[in-house]
Structure 1
Amino acid sequence: MNIKKKVLLIVPAYNEEESIENTIESIRKFKNKLKENEIFLDYIVVNDGSKDNTASIAKNIGVKLINLRTNLGLTGGFMAGMKYADRKKYDYAIQFDADGQHLPEYIPSLIEASEKGANLVVGSRFVDEKRPVSLRMLGSIMISFAIKITTGKTINDPTSGMRLFDRKSINFYVNNHNMTPEPETVSYYIKKKFNVQEVQVSMQERVAGESYLNFSRSIQYMIRVVISVIVFQPFRK
Protein backbone atom coordinates (compact mmCIF):
# COMPACT_ATOMS: atom_id res chain seq x y z
CA MET A 1 0.00 0.00 0.00
CA ASN A 2 1.95 2.99 -1.28
CA ILE A 3 -0.68 5.67 -0.72
CA LYS A 4 -1.84 6.21 2.83
CA LYS A 5 -5.58 5.57 2.94
CA LYS A 6 -8.10 6.99 5.41
CA VAL A 7 -10.02 4.13 7.00
CA LEU A 8 -12.99 4.47 9.33
CA LEU A 9 -14.22 1.65 11.54
CA ILE A 10 -17.93 2.12 12.18
CA VAL A 11 -18.84 0.42 15.46
CA PRO A 12 -22.64 0.35 15.99
CA ALA A 13 -23.42 -0.37 19.64
CA TYR A 14 -26.65 -1.11 21.46
CA ASN A 15 -26.40 -2.05 25.14
CA GLU A 16 -22.77 -3.15 24.81
CA GLU A 17 -21.47 -1.83 28.14
CA GLU A 18 -19.84 -5.20 28.91
CA SER A 19 -17.79 -5.35 25.72
CA ILE A 20 -17.34 -1.89 24.18
CA GLU A 21 -14.23 -0.94 26.16
CA ASN A 22 -12.42 -4.19 25.30
CA THR A 23 -13.40 -3.81 21.64
CA ILE A 24 -11.98 -0.29 21.47
CA GLU A 25 -8.87 -1.39 23.30
CA SER A 26 -8.26 -4.12 20.70
CA ILE A 27 -8.60 -1.53 17.92
CA ARG A 28 -6.19 0.84 19.66
CA LYS A 29 -3.60 -1.89 20.17
CA PHE A 30 -3.79 -2.78 16.50
CA LYS A 31 -3.54 0.87 15.47
CA ASN A 32 -0.39 1.33 17.56
CA LYS A 33 1.28 -1.51 15.66
CA LEU A 34 0.64 0.03 12.25
CA LYS A 35 3.56 1.51 10.39
CA GLU A 36 3.26 5.24 9.82
CA ASN A 37 3.04 4.91 6.04
CA GLU A 38 0.44 2.10 5.94
CA ILE A 39 -3.03 3.43 6.71
CA PHE A 40 -4.66 6.17 8.71
CA LEU A 41 -7.05 4.23 10.94
CA ASP A 42 -9.91 6.02 12.63
CA TYR A 43 -12.93 4.66 14.47
CA ILE A 44 -16.28 5.89 15.69
CA VAL A 45 -18.88 4.35 17.98
CA VAL A 46 -22.52 4.84 17.02
CA ASN A 47 -24.48 4.49 20.24
CA ASP A 48 -27.91 3.38 19.09
CA GLY A 49 -30.03 4.69 21.94
CA SER A 50 -28.57 2.26 24.46
CA LYS A 51 -30.36 1.91 27.78
CA ASP A 52 -27.18 0.96 29.62
CA ASN A 53 -23.84 2.75 30.07
CA THR A 54 -22.49 2.21 26.55
CA ALA A 55 -22.43 5.93 25.71
CA SER A 56 -20.84 7.06 28.97
CA ILE A 57 -18.14 4.36 28.75
CA ALA A 58 -17.32 5.42 25.19
CA LYS A 59 -17.07 9.06 26.28
CA ASN A 60 -14.88 8.20 29.26
CA ILE A 61 -12.34 6.38 27.12
CA GLY A 62 -12.22 9.24 24.62
CA VAL A 63 -13.89 7.63 21.61
CA LYS A 64 -15.49 9.62 18.80
CA LEU A 65 -19.18 9.12 19.37
CA ILE A 66 -22.40 9.52 17.42
CA ASN A 67 -24.98 9.40 20.17
CA LEU A 68 -28.46 8.56 18.87
CA ARG A 69 -31.05 9.43 21.48
CA THR A 70 -33.51 6.77 20.35
CA ASN A 71 -32.92 3.22 19.18
CA LEU A 72 -33.01 3.15 15.37
CA GLY A 73 -31.79 -0.41 15.01
CA LEU A 74 -28.65 -1.54 13.20
CA THR A 75 -29.89 -0.09 9.91
CA GLY A 76 -30.25 3.45 11.29
CA GLY A 77 -27.11 3.26 13.37
CA PHE A 78 -24.91 2.08 10.54
CA MET A 79 -26.38 4.64 8.15
CA ALA A 80 -25.38 7.38 10.59
CA GLY A 81 -21.82 6.07 10.52
CA MET A 82 -21.77 5.81 6.74
CA LYS A 83 -23.01 9.39 6.36
CA TYR A 84 -20.17 10.50 8.62
CA ALA A 85 -17.68 8.52 6.50
CA ASP A 86 -19.07 10.04 3.32
CA ARG A 87 -19.05 13.59 4.69
CA LYS A 88 -15.49 13.26 5.98
CA LYS A 89 -14.36 11.63 2.70
CA TYR A 90 -12.83 8.47 4.11
CA ASP A 91 -11.39 6.13 1.50
CA TYR A 92 -12.82 3.09 3.26
CA ALA A 93 -15.51 2.40 5.84
CA ILE A 94 -15.56 -0.90 7.70
CA GLN A 95 -18.54 -2.27 9.55
CA PHE A 96 -17.12 -3.56 12.85
CA ASP A 97 -19.09 -5.24 15.63
CA ALA A 98 -18.97 -3.85 19.15
CA ASP A 99 -19.23 -7.27 20.81
CA GLY A 100 -15.63 -8.37 20.31
CA GLN A 101 -16.26 -10.92 17.54
CA HIS A 102 -14.38 -9.02 14.82
CA LEU A 103 -10.58 -8.92 14.89
CA PRO A 104 -8.82 -5.76 13.68
CA GLU A 105 -5.76 -7.63 12.38
CA TYR A 106 -7.76 -8.58 9.27
CA ILE A 107 -8.27 -4.93 8.25
CA PRO A 108 -5.20 -4.89 5.95
CA SER A 109 -6.51 -7.97 4.10
CA LEU A 110 -9.82 -6.23 3.46
CA ILE A 111 -8.03 -3.13 2.18
CA GLU A 112 -5.69 -5.18 -0.01
CA ALA A 113 -8.69 -6.86 -1.69
CA SER A 114 -10.23 -3.45 -2.36
CA GLU A 115 -7.00 -2.08 -3.80
CA LYS A 116 -7.08 -5.00 -6.25
CA GLY A 117 -10.47 -3.82 -7.50
CA ALA A 118 -13.19 -4.80 -5.02
CA ASN A 119 -15.75 -2.15 -4.08
CA LEU A 120 -17.21 -4.16 -1.21
CA VAL A 121 -15.21 -6.77 0.69
CA VAL A 122 -16.82 -9.29 3.04
CA GLY A 123 -14.71 -10.68 5.86
CA SER A 124 -15.67 -14.33 5.44
CA ARG A 125 -15.08 -17.30 7.71
CA PHE A 126 -15.55 -19.71 4.83
CA VAL A 127 -13.25 -18.84 1.94
CA ASP A 128 -10.40 -21.22 2.77
CA GLU A 129 -12.23 -23.06 5.53
CA LYS A 130 -15.23 -25.29 4.94
CA ARG A 131 -18.55 -24.05 6.28
CA PRO A 132 -19.90 -26.53 8.82
CA VAL A 133 -23.23 -28.14 8.05
CA SER A 134 -25.31 -27.56 11.15
CA LEU A 135 -28.64 -26.17 12.21
CA ARG A 136 -26.86 -22.98 13.21
CA MET A 137 -25.45 -22.61 9.69
CA LEU A 138 -28.69 -23.49 7.90
CA GLY A 139 -29.68 -19.84 7.52
CA SER A 140 -26.31 -18.87 6.08
CA ILE A 141 -26.44 -21.75 3.59
CA MET A 142 -29.93 -20.79 2.42
CA ILE A 143 -29.03 -17.11 2.07
CA SER A 144 -25.92 -18.05 0.05
CA PHE A 145 -28.13 -20.15 -2.21
CA ALA A 146 -30.64 -17.31 -2.64
CA ILE A 147 -27.87 -14.89 -3.64
CA LYS A 148 -26.34 -17.44 -6.02
CA ILE A 149 -29.55 -18.14 -7.94
CA THR A 150 -30.45 -14.44 -8.24
CA THR A 151 -27.01 -12.94 -9.00
CA GLY A 152 -24.89 -15.87 -10.19
CA LYS A 153 -22.24 -15.09 -7.56
CA THR A 154 -21.34 -17.21 -4.56
CA ILE A 155 -21.04 -15.44 -1.22
CA ASN A 156 -19.85 -18.02 1.29
CA ASP A 157 -20.50 -16.02 4.45
CA PRO A 158 -23.40 -13.64 3.66
CA THR A 159 -24.29 -13.01 7.30
CA SER A 160 -20.81 -11.79 8.21
CA GLY A 161 -21.04 -8.32 9.71
CA MET A 162 -17.44 -7.43 8.88
CA ARG A 163 -17.60 -5.58 5.57
CA LEU A 164 -15.42 -2.98 3.90
CA PHE A 165 -16.91 -0.33 1.60
CA ASP A 166 -14.71 1.71 -0.72
CA ARG A 167 -15.30 5.38 -1.55
CA LYS A 168 -17.64 4.55 -4.45
CA SER A 169 -19.74 2.12 -2.45
CA ILE A 170 -19.92 4.48 0.56
CA ASN A 171 -21.37 7.19 -1.63
CA PHE A 172 -23.80 4.74 -3.23
CA TYR A 173 -24.92 3.53 0.21
CA VAL A 174 -25.82 6.95 1.58
CA ASN A 175 -27.53 8.15 -1.61
CA ASN A 176 -29.91 5.24 -2.16
CA HIS A 177 -33.08 4.15 -0.41
CA ASN A 178 -33.60 1.05 1.73
CA MET A 179 -29.91 0.34 2.30
CA THR A 180 -29.18 -1.94 5.25
CA PRO A 181 -26.06 -3.59 6.69
CA GLU A 182 -27.55 -6.98 5.82
CA PRO A 183 -27.10 -9.72 3.15
CA GLU A 184 -29.76 -8.10 0.94
CA THR A 185 -27.45 -5.13 0.46
CA VAL A 186 -24.54 -7.36 -0.52
CA SER A 187 -26.85 -8.93 -3.11
CA TYR A 188 -27.97 -5.49 -4.28
CA TYR A 189 -24.39 -4.31 -4.80
CA ILE A 190 -23.77 -7.36 -6.98
CA LYS A 191 -26.91 -6.58 -8.97
CA LYS A 192 -25.70 -3.00 -9.51
CA LYS A 193 -22.40 -4.32 -10.93
CA PHE A 194 -20.17 -3.46 -7.99
CA ASN A 195 -17.20 -5.76 -7.50
CA VAL A 196 -17.96 -7.76 -4.35
CA GLN A 197 -15.30 -10.11 -2.98
CA GLU A 198 -14.62 -12.15 0.15
CA VAL A 199 -11.42 -12.58 2.13
CA GLN A 200 -10.75 -15.18 4.78
CA VAL A 201 -10.99 -14.01 8.39
CA SER A 202 -11.46 -15.61 11.77
CA MET A 203 -13.93 -14.42 14.35
CA GLN A 204 -14.24 -14.84 18.08
CA GLU A 205 -17.32 -15.82 19.98
CA ARG A 206 -19.17 -12.93 21.59
CA VAL A 207 -17.05 -11.81 24.54
CA ALA A 208 -19.88 -10.51 26.76
CA GLY A 209 -23.58 -9.76 26.70
CA GLU A 210 -26.21 -11.56 24.66
CA SER A 211 -26.95 -11.53 20.97
CA TYR A 212 -30.30 -10.19 19.82
CA LEU A 213 -30.61 -13.18 17.51
CA ASN A 214 -31.76 -16.11 19.62
CA PHE A 215 -32.86 -19.32 17.89
CA SER A 216 -36.41 -18.22 17.02
CA ARG A 217 -35.27 -14.77 15.85
CA SER A 218 -32.53 -16.40 13.77
CA ILE A 219 -35.14 -18.49 11.95
CA GLN A 220 -37.29 -15.42 11.34
CA TYR A 221 -34.24 -13.49 10.14
CA MET A 222 -33.26 -16.24 7.71
CA ILE A 223 -36.76 -16.47 6.23
CA ARG A 224 -37.02 -12.70 5.86
CA VAL A 225 -33.66 -12.37 4.12
CA VAL A 226 -34.27 -15.28 1.74
CA ILE A 227 -37.68 -13.89 0.76
CA SER A 228 -36.18 -10.42 0.30
CA VAL A 229 -33.36 -11.68 -1.93
CA ILE A 230 -35.48 -14.04 -4.05
CA VAL A 231 -38.83 -12.23 -4.23
CA PHE A 232 -38.17 -8.50 -3.84
CA GLN A 233 -34.56 -7.96 -4.92
CA PRO A 234 -35.15 -8.74 -8.64
CA PHE A 235 -37.63 -5.84 -8.80
CA ARG A 236 -35.42 -3.36 -6.96
CA LYS A 237 -34.18 -0.58 -9.22
Structure 2
Amino acid sequence: MKKLRILVIIPAYNEQESIQNTVENLKQACSTMEHQVDYVVINDGSKDNTLNILKQNHFSFIDLPVNLGIGGGMQTGYLYAYQNNYDIAIQLDGDGQHDPHYIQKLIQPLVNGQADMAIGSRYIEKTGFQSTGMRQLGIKIISTSLKILCRSKVLDVTSGFRACNKKLIHFFVDHYAQDYPEPEAIISVIRNGYKIEEVPVVMNERQGGTSSISGFKSIYYMCKVELALLIQAIRKKGE
Protein backbone atom coordinates (compact mmCIF):
# COMPACT_ATOMS: atom_id res chain seq x y z
CA MET A 1 0.00 0.00 0.00
CA LYS A 2 1.23 3.48 -0.87
CA LYS A 3 2.36 5.50 2.14
CA LEU A 4 0.07 8.54 2.16
CA ARG A 5 0.98 12.05 3.21
CA ILE A 6 -1.69 13.35 5.58
CA LEU A 7 -2.07 16.87 6.93
CA VAL A 8 -4.15 17.55 10.03
CA ILE A 9 -5.44 21.13 9.99
CA ILE A 10 -6.25 22.51 13.44
CA PRO A 11 -8.20 25.79 13.33
CA ALA A 12 -7.77 27.67 16.60
CA TYR A 13 -9.29 30.89 17.91
CA ASN A 14 -8.72 31.67 21.59
CA GLU A 15 -7.95 28.05 22.51
CA GLN A 16 -5.29 28.67 25.17
CA GLU A 17 -6.92 26.19 27.54
CA SER A 18 -6.89 23.25 25.14
CA ILE A 19 -4.49 23.76 22.22
CA GLN A 20 -1.41 22.22 23.87
CA ASN A 21 -3.24 19.03 24.85
CA THR A 22 -4.90 18.86 21.45
CA VAL A 23 -1.58 18.92 19.58
CA GLU A 24 0.19 16.59 22.01
CA ASN A 25 -2.67 14.06 21.90
CA LEU A 26 -2.60 14.20 18.10
CA LYS A 27 1.14 13.58 17.93
CA GLN A 28 0.85 10.65 20.34
CA ALA A 29 -2.13 9.10 18.52
CA CYS A 30 -0.47 9.31 15.10
CA SER A 31 2.99 8.13 16.18
CA THR A 32 2.22 4.51 15.28
CA MET A 33 0.29 5.10 12.05
CA GLU A 34 1.70 3.61 8.85
CA HIS A 35 1.18 6.86 6.94
CA GLN A 36 3.04 10.15 7.31
CA VAL A 37 0.89 12.45 9.43
CA ASP A 38 1.84 16.11 9.76
CA TYR A 39 -0.16 18.92 11.32
CA VAL A 40 -0.51 22.69 11.16
CA VAL A 41 -2.37 24.90 13.61
CA ILE A 42 -4.13 27.86 11.99
CA ASN A 43 -4.05 30.56 14.67
CA ASP A 44 -6.99 32.66 13.54
CA GLY A 45 -6.09 36.01 15.09
CA SER A 46 -6.44 34.74 18.67
CA LYS A 47 -6.56 37.44 21.34
CA ASP A 48 -5.61 35.20 24.25
CA ASN A 49 -2.36 33.28 24.89
CA THR A 50 -2.81 30.74 22.06
CA LEU A 51 0.01 32.15 19.90
CA ASN A 52 2.51 32.20 22.77
CA ILE A 53 1.69 28.57 23.60
CA LEU A 54 2.30 27.58 19.97
CA LYS A 55 5.64 29.38 19.95
CA GLN A 56 6.79 28.11 23.35
CA ASN A 57 6.11 24.49 22.38
CA HIS A 58 7.61 24.86 18.90
CA PHE A 59 4.38 23.64 17.31
CA SER A 60 3.84 23.93 13.56
CA PHE A 61 1.49 26.85 12.92
CA ILE A 62 0.36 29.60 10.58
CA ASP A 63 -0.45 32.88 12.30
CA LEU A 64 -3.24 34.86 10.63
CA PRO A 65 -2.93 38.58 11.46
CA VAL A 66 -6.71 39.02 11.63
CA ASN A 67 -9.62 36.73 12.48
CA LEU A 68 -11.00 35.19 9.27
CA GLY A 69 -13.45 32.82 10.91
CA ILE A 70 -13.53 29.04 10.60
CA GLY A 71 -14.06 29.18 6.83
CA GLY A 72 -11.09 31.40 6.12
CA GLY A 73 -8.93 29.50 8.57
CA MET A 74 -9.74 26.15 7.00
CA GLN A 75 -9.26 27.48 3.49
CA THR A 76 -5.78 28.62 4.55
CA GLY A 77 -5.12 25.07 5.71
CA TYR A 78 -6.38 23.56 2.45
CA LEU A 79 -4.17 25.93 0.46
CA TYR A 80 -1.19 24.83 2.56
CA ALA A 81 -2.11 21.17 1.97
CA TYR A 82 -2.45 21.75 -1.78
CA GLN A 83 0.83 23.65 -2.10
CA ASN A 84 2.66 20.91 -0.20
CA ASN A 85 1.09 18.04 -2.17
CA TYR A 86 -0.68 16.21 0.66
CA ASP A 87 -2.91 13.26 -0.23
CA ILE A 88 -5.43 13.77 2.58
CA ALA A 89 -6.36 16.78 4.72
CA ILE A 90 -8.15 16.35 8.03
CA GLN A 91 -9.91 19.01 10.08
CA LEU A 92 -9.43 18.55 13.82
CA ASP A 93 -10.79 21.33 16.03
CA GLY A 94 -8.50 22.92 18.59
CA ASP A 95 -10.93 22.65 21.49
CA GLY A 96 -10.28 18.97 22.27
CA GLN A 97 -13.67 17.65 21.12
CA HIS A 98 -12.23 15.41 18.42
CA ASP A 99 -10.36 12.26 19.41
CA PRO A 100 -7.33 11.81 17.11
CA HIS A 101 -7.33 8.06 17.78
CA TYR A 102 -10.20 7.87 15.26
CA ILE A 103 -8.09 9.29 12.42
CA GLN A 104 -7.18 5.86 11.02
CA LYS A 105 -10.87 4.92 10.98
CA LEU A 106 -11.84 8.30 9.50
CA ILE A 107 -9.51 8.07 6.51
CA GLN A 108 -10.40 4.47 5.63
CA PRO A 109 -13.24 5.33 3.18
CA LEU A 110 -10.80 7.62 1.35
CA VAL A 111 -8.01 5.04 1.32
CA ASN A 112 -10.44 2.44 -0.05
CA GLY A 113 -11.72 4.81 -2.74
CA GLN A 114 -15.27 4.70 -1.37
CA ALA A 115 -15.55 8.43 -0.67
CA ASP A 116 -13.94 11.81 -1.31
CA MET A 117 -14.94 13.13 2.13
CA ALA A 118 -15.39 11.24 5.38
CA ILE A 119 -17.24 12.87 8.28
CA GLY A 120 -16.77 11.78 11.88
CA SER A 121 -20.34 11.38 13.13
CA ARG A 122 -21.50 11.22 16.76
CA TYR A 123 -25.05 10.32 15.71
CA ILE A 124 -24.52 6.87 14.18
CA GLU A 125 -23.81 4.95 17.36
CA LYS A 126 -24.94 7.82 19.66
CA THR A 127 -22.23 7.40 22.27
CA GLY A 128 -20.11 10.05 23.98
CA PHE A 129 -20.92 13.75 24.03
CA GLN A 130 -24.05 14.48 21.96
CA SER A 131 -24.23 18.32 22.18
CA THR A 132 -27.05 20.37 23.72
CA GLY A 133 -30.72 19.61 23.07
CA MET A 134 -31.24 22.90 21.22
CA ARG A 135 -28.29 22.31 18.96
CA GLN A 136 -29.29 18.69 18.28
CA LEU A 137 -32.71 19.93 17.14
CA GLY A 138 -31.07 22.41 14.79
CA ILE A 139 -28.80 19.70 13.40
CA LYS A 140 -31.78 17.43 12.71
CA ILE A 141 -33.60 20.23 10.86
CA ILE A 142 -30.52 21.07 8.77
CA SER A 143 -29.97 17.37 8.05
CA THR A 144 -33.58 17.04 6.84
CA SER A 145 -33.20 20.11 4.60
CA LEU A 146 -30.02 18.66 3.15
CA LYS A 147 -31.80 15.41 2.38
CA ILE A 148 -34.60 17.29 0.58
CA LEU A 149 -32.24 19.52 -1.40
CA CYS A 150 -29.60 16.92 -2.30
CA ARG A 151 -31.33 13.58 -1.76
CA SER A 152 -28.43 12.58 0.46
CA LYS A 153 -28.57 11.61 4.11
CA VAL A 154 -25.94 13.09 6.41
CA LEU A 155 -26.66 12.87 10.12
CA ASP A 156 -23.89 14.98 11.67
CA VAL A 157 -24.01 17.97 9.33
CA THR A 158 -22.10 20.30 11.66
CA SER A 159 -19.27 17.93 12.56
CA GLY A 160 -15.92 19.60 12.05
CA PHE A 161 -14.09 16.27 12.28
CA ARG A 162 -13.70 15.38 8.62
CA ALA A 163 -11.18 14.15 6.07
CA CYS A 164 -10.84 15.07 2.38
CA ASN A 165 -8.90 13.48 -0.45
CA LYS A 166 -6.59 15.28 -2.87
CA LYS A 167 -9.39 16.14 -5.32
CA LEU A 168 -11.40 17.89 -2.61
CA ILE A 169 -8.33 19.66 -1.25
CA HIS A 170 -7.92 21.23 -4.68
CA PHE A 171 -11.63 22.05 -4.86
CA PHE A 172 -11.67 23.71 -1.42
CA VAL A 173 -8.72 25.95 -2.27
CA ASP A 174 -11.10 27.95 -4.47
CA HIS A 175 -14.53 26.98 -3.10
CA TYR A 176 -15.13 27.08 0.63
CA ALA A 177 -17.89 28.80 2.62
CA GLN A 178 -16.63 31.53 4.95
CA ASP A 179 -19.20 31.83 7.76
CA TYR A 180 -20.41 28.48 9.22
CA PRO A 181 -18.94 26.30 6.50
CA GLU A 182 -19.55 22.70 7.57
CA PRO A 183 -23.14 22.25 6.26
CA GLU A 184 -22.51 24.43 3.19
CA ALA A 185 -19.39 22.45 2.33
CA ILE A 186 -21.45 19.25 2.38
CA ILE A 187 -24.01 20.51 -0.11
CA SER A 188 -21.24 21.94 -2.32
CA VAL A 189 -19.41 18.61 -2.28
CA ILE A 190 -22.54 16.63 -3.17
CA ARG A 191 -23.67 18.99 -5.93
CA ASN A 192 -20.26 18.83 -7.58
CA GLY A 193 -20.32 15.05 -7.81
CA TYR A 194 -18.11 14.06 -4.90
CA LYS A 195 -18.99 11.26 -2.50
CA ILE A 196 -19.44 11.55 1.27
CA GLU A 197 -19.42 8.81 3.88
CA GLU A 198 -20.02 9.13 7.62
CA VAL A 199 -17.87 7.25 10.10
CA PRO A 200 -19.00 6.64 13.71
CA VAL A 201 -16.83 8.40 16.28
CA VAL A 202 -17.05 9.36 19.93
CA MET A 203 -16.59 13.04 20.71
CA ASN A 204 -15.72 14.83 23.93
CA GLU A 205 -17.03 18.03 25.46
CA ARG A 206 -14.97 21.15 24.82
CA GLN A 207 -11.81 21.10 26.91
CA GLY A 208 -11.87 24.89 27.29
CA GLY A 209 -13.00 28.14 25.72
CA THR A 210 -16.51 29.02 24.61
CA SER A 211 -18.53 27.77 21.65
CA SER A 212 -19.62 30.43 19.16
CA ILE A 213 -22.94 28.57 18.85
CA SER A 214 -24.80 28.27 22.12
CA GLY A 215 -28.20 29.06 23.63
CA PHE A 216 -30.37 31.19 21.38
CA LYS A 217 -27.44 31.55 18.97
CA SER A 218 -28.31 28.00 17.93
CA ILE A 219 -31.63 29.25 16.53
CA TYR A 220 -29.91 32.08 14.68
CA TYR A 221 -27.33 29.64 13.36
CA MET A 222 -30.00 27.23 12.14
CA CYS A 223 -31.93 29.97 10.30
CA LYS A 224 -28.78 31.35 8.73
CA VAL A 225 -27.60 27.92 7.59
CA GLU A 226 -31.04 27.08 6.17
CA LEU A 227 -30.90 30.24 4.03
CA ALA A 228 -27.32 29.50 2.99
CA LEU A 229 -28.26 25.96 1.94
CA LEU A 230 -31.08 27.27 -0.23
CA ILE A 231 -28.73 29.74 -1.91
CA GLN A 232 -26.11 27.06 -2.34
CA ALA A 233 -28.68 24.72 -3.90
CA ILE A 234 -29.54 27.17 -6.70
CA ARG A 235 -25.99 28.23 -7.48
CA LYS A 236 -24.15 26.79 -10.44
CA LYS A 237 -21.88 23.82 -9.90
CA GLY A 238 -18.28 24.73 -9.17
CA GLU A 239 -19.22 27.99 -7.45
Using the size of structure 2 for normalisation, the TM-score is 0.92
Gaps of 5+ in 1: none
Is the contact between residue 13 and residue 46 of structure 1 (CA under 8 Å) also seen in structure 2?
A: yes
Cα distance in structure 2, aligned partners of 1:102 and 1:179: 21
Cα distance in structure 2, aligned partners of 1:158 and 1:138: 12
Instruction: Report the 3-state secondary structure (helix = DSSP H, G, I; strand = E; otherwise coil) of the residue aligned with 1:149.
Output: helix
Instruction: Report the 3-state secondary structure (helix = DSSP H, G, I; strand = E; otherwise coil) of the residue aligned with 1:146.
Output: helix
Cα distance in structure 2, aligned partners of 1:175 and 1:168: 12
Gaps of 5+ in 2: none
**Residue 22 of structure 1: CA displacement?**
0.7
Cα distance in structure 2, aligned partners of 1:178 and 1:21: 28
* Amino acid corresponding to residue 209 of structure 1 in structure 2: G
Within a 5 Å distance, the mapping from 1:102-141 to structure 2 comes to 102-116=98-112, 117-129=114-126, 134-141=133-140
Q: Tell me which of 54, 58, 61 is aligned to 1:62.
A: 58
CA root-mean-square deviation: 1.7
Is the contact between residue 179 and residue 185 of structure 1 (CA under 8 Å) also seen in structure 2?
A: no
1:9–1:82 distance in 2 versus 1, CA, 3 Å = same
Q: Tell me which of 67, 76, 89 is aligned to 1:71.
A: 67
Question: How many residue pairs are counted as aligned between the two chains?
Answer: 232
Cα distance in structure 1, aligned partners of 2:131 and 2:58: 40
Determine the structure 2 residue equivalent to 1:165. Answer: 164
Q: Quick check: 124-133 or 182-191, which moved more? A: 124-133
Determine the structure 2 residue equivalent to 1:142. Answer: 141
**Residue 135 of structure 1: CA displacement?**
2.9
Cα distance in structure 1, aligned partners of 2:104 and 2:71: 25
Determine the structure 2 residue equivalent to 1:23. Answer: 22
**Residue 172 of structure 1: CA displacement?**
0.7
Please tell me whether residue 211 in structure 1 is matched to residue 207 in structure 2.
no
* Amino acid corresponding to residue 36 of structure 2 in structure 1: F
Determine the structure 2 residue equivalent to 1:199. Answer: 199
Cα-to-partner distance string for 1:70-109 (whole Å, 9 max, x where unaligned): 1111111111111000100100001110000000011111
Using the size of structure 1 for normalisation, the TM-score is 0.93
Cα-to-partner distance string for 1:125-153 (whole Å, 9 max, x where unaligned): 11233889943311100010010001111
Q: Quick check: 205-214 or 13-22, which moved more? A: 205-214
Give the percent of matched residue pairs that are identical in Structure 1 and Structure 2.
Answer: 41
Cα distance in structure 2, aligned partners of 1:191 and 1:143: 16
